[in-house]
Amino acid sequence: MTTQPLFHLAFPVIDLEEARTFYVDILGCVSGRESDRWIDFDFFGHQLVAHLVDPKDHAATVTNPVDDHAVPASHFGLILDWELYQEFVDRLRKANVDFVIEPYLRFEGLRGEQATLFIRDPSNNYLEFKAFRDVKMLFDKDIDSH
């Protein structure tokens, strides 16, 4: 049996305790190893590592226009299954998370229909969560990618 590779991402934060609260209490991650300069998080089975940086060393965010939204060019996130995405949106709303881009449907009723949203962590790192009506469309070249 082949094991799916796990994703690893290290990213900057300006406050480790705020990062812990956001990733554990809001997103539901479990924290792992840590030091006074970093914390590992189990991000839906993948490894995120929040590294403490000085606020002046945290880069600004540039955006690109997508569907009349200013999408942060630098972001990360997950592709969830359709039902889990809806539950996740409810979780975020109950936690009063501010959406950078409110949940909406792209390509509604078409090939490649997907739900997407953007949020920001306390260090201004942007996260996108999305779901495809048919996940086989994830890399399909026949859907509009604008």
The predicted pLDDT at position 3 comes to: 83
Mean pLDDT within 94-115: 94
For domain 1-54, give the CATH number.
3.10.180.10
H/E stretch holding 91 reads helix 82-94
pLDDT band at 143 (very low <50, low <70, confident <90, very high): low
Dihedral of CA 144/85/24/31: which sign?
negative
Percent above pLDDT 70 for the chain: 96
Return phi, psi of residue 52, to 5°: -70, 130
Class of the 63-146 domain? alpha beta
Average of pLDDT values for 76-91?
96
What tokens were used for 86? Answer: 């809806």
| Domain coordinates in residue numbering, the chain | 1-54, 63-146
CA distance 86 to 94: 12
Determine the pLDDT at residue 17.
97
Q: What is the mean pLDDT of the chain?
A: 92
